[in-house]
Structure 1
Amino acid sequence: MSFYRFAKTVVKLVLKPKYKVIGKGLENIPKEGPVIICSNHISNYDPPIVGITCPRPIHFMAKEELFKNKIFGFILKKVNTIVLKRGASDRTALKKGLEVLKDGNVLGLFPEGTRSKTGELKKGLAGAGFFALRSKATVIPCAIVGNYQSKEPLMVIFGKPVEMDILRENKASAQKVTDTIMNEIKMIKENH
């Protein structure tokens, strides 16, 4: 058993019952090939919650500050996390993200770049659009709906793929693509 699968099993046993996690739209995630999952960001628990819900292993990007704790940093590396230096264009992280997609794997992104303390969607950063335009990946919008403090179930909803062909044909900018993805996430949230 891989460390990722072991960690996913442990996290699922702890977090799924605690937050009554329900996954929806899993059929929208291709079983193989490159995929970018773009989700809203409301808590530090979002990466593991999306990770335990998705049927495929996800390579998340995480700010380098999280790797400073040696034990936590070791675990993050073992579960395919890519170190991201915030505040500047991190070419190494961009290259690693594109390699993940080129190898036919799943890249997990939180386009807002940081958690929303109110739960309201913030403007997404152009990075998500960059990866979508520079790869042939299927882009799946994902919405975490609910509240970690609530007694109601926390839903992780994977939407239908974003129509990238039209955006590519129209030579859309990375920011325009990110805005389109964020709009899809917003619609999923509003419909649930």
Structure 2
Amino acid sequence: MIDVPKQLPRTSGTFSRTFGTVMLRMLGWRITGEFPQYGKFVAAVAPHTSNWDFFVAISVKLSLGIEIKFLGKHSIFFGPIGWLLKKMGGIAVERSQAHGMVAQITDVFNRSDALILGIAPEGTRKKTAKWKTGFLHIAKSANVPVVPMALDYRNKQFVIMPTQHIQGDIEQELQRFCKLFDKEMAKYPQQVSGD
């Protein structure tokens, strides 16, 4: 088991950690790499080509006992469903304007002592021309690093890669990020987005 720094936001459920660990073993996956010594960062998880990605990622989250937030359209956060989504780590955002969303999430980071925001940079499991840049805009605006995390189906490893700091032009940073992930890692390499 890898070391989880004390700065990271944690969950307290022993049952959920056991459940996540059992799920990873059943799926035949293991976790490699190291978490940064930061309490706030964007976790960019790729390549995303299958619904199985969610089950692997949620098993990793549960087994490590870490709290990871994710973004959801504000209109789905209502009643019992909204309560459940928030309990699972959902953050409701108004997505009518892209940079409005960046400002909303920057504010959430600024108000938090510790926060991991999990994002799939492709935005979908279907093949698209290029990755979305929102995760980089959020990191730059909130002045937090990005930790790339790879779903490596070849080796059945969830790989935590070295921390990246976003300083330059967003389009250039996006090209640099895409090169960190080998498309052959994906469950369906032919569906990997980008060039």
1:32 maps to: 38
Residues 136-175 of structure 1, C-alpha deviations (whole Å, 9 max, x = no match): 21211111111xxxxx87321111112x2xx52xx41x33
The SS at the match of 2:180 is helix
- Which amino acid in the other structure matches residue 177 of structure 1? E
1:127 to 134, 141, 147: 134
Using the size of structure 1 for normalisation, the TM-score is 0.68
Q: Point out the structure with the larger helix share.
A: 1
Matched-pair contact (CA < 8 Å) for 2:20–2:58: no
2:122 to 98, 107, 112: 112
C-alpha distance in structure 2 between counterparts of 1:188 and 1:129, whole Å: 23
Identity %: 20
1:143 to 150, 160, 181: 150
- Which amino acid in the other structure matches residue 53 of structure 2? D
Q: CA deviation at 1:14?
A: 6.0
Q: CA deviation at 1:108?
A: 0.7
Q: CA deviation at 1:111?
A: 0.7
1:80 aligns with 2:76: no
1:156 maps to: 158
Using the size of structure 2 for normalisation, the TM-score is 0.67
Unaligned runs of 5+ in 2: 1-9, 187-195
2:174 to 171, 178, 181: 178
2:50 to 6, 30, 43: 43
Q: Give RMSD over aligned pairs.
A: 3.5
Counting matched residue pairs gives: 171
C-alpha distance in structure 2 between counterparts of 1:161 and 1:99, whole Å: 22
CA 1:72 to 1:156, structure 2 compared with 1: closer, same or farther past 3 Å? farther
Unaligned runs of 5+ in 1: 147-151
Q: CA deviation at 1:96?
A: 4.0
